Amino acid sequence: MTARRRAAPWWSADDAAAVKVAGDAIAEYTAAKLAADEVLTFLGEERRARERMEMGEEGRFSYVILRPGLLTDEPPTGRVRLGRTRGLGRVSRGDVAAVAAELLGKEGANGWYDVLEGERTVEEEVERVVREGENSVEGERFEEMRETMDRYVGAWREGDAGGFDFTAPRWEGW
C-alpha cells in the first residue's frame, strides 16, 4: 500500500504522511513493489486496449494487483476492507490469500486492490468493489507507468536487469 508515487486522493493528510513515513522505512521494497505494480498495470491495460480494438467491446482479459497493508501471521478472520482503504493498517496473510482466490474467481475484477483487516466478509467486499468498479490505482498516472516499463525493458535488453534502479523518484507531490 505504501507503493504509490503520490498520496491516494481519498486519503487524509494524516494518512498520506503516515504512509510516506512507512514507505520510507522500507524504501527499497516500496520502490520495487511500485515498479512491479506499474509494469504489470501497463502491460495489463495495454492488453485490454488491444482486445477492445480487436473485438470492438470489452475483452475477457483482466488483471488483479493486491496491495496489502502490514502482513501478519495471525489466523485469518475472513473479514477485510478492500479497495480504497485508509492509509495504513494490517491484514493477515491468510486473509490476503482468501481475497486473491475470491477476486480471481470474480468476473469483472480488474485493477489495484488495497487490502486491510475490516468488518465485512471477503465475499461481501469483493462483490462490493467489483460492483462499484473500485480501483485503487486512482490518482496514479499511466504515463509514468509507461516510463517505468521503458526503463525496465531497456535495462533488461542491455543485460543489466539485475542493476535496475529501483530508487527512481517516488512520493512525488507529497
The larger pLDDT score, comparing residue 154 to residue 161, is at: 154
Q: Across the chain, what does the average pLDDT equal?
A: 88
Per-residue model confidence as pLDDT tens digits over 36-94: 999 899 999 999 999 888 887 777 889 999 999 999 999 999 999 999 998 899 999 99
How much is the pLDDT for 169?
A: 47
How much is the pLDDT for 167?
A: 52
Residue 170 lies in a domain: no
pTM of the model: 0.85
Query: Quick one: cell of 148?
Result: 517505468
* 76 vs 12: CA distance, rounded Å: 28
* 106 vs 101: CA distance, rounded Å: 9
Residue 68 lies in a domain: yes
Structurally, the chain folds into a number of domains equal to: 1
Residue 108 lies in a domain: yes
Residue 4 lies in a domain: no
Quick one: CA dihedral 143, 139, 59, 152, positive or negative? positive
Residue 21 lies in a domain: yes
Per-residue model confidence as pLDDT tens digits over 90-144: 999 999 999 999 999 999 999 999 999 999 999 999 999 999 999 999 999 988 8
Residue 172 lies in a domain: no
Residue 174 lies in a domain: no
C-alpha to C-alpha distances, 85 to 51, 112, 133, 171, nearest whole angstrom: 30, 12, 14, 18
Residue 146 lies in a domain: yes
Domain membership of residue 21 as a residue range: 13-163
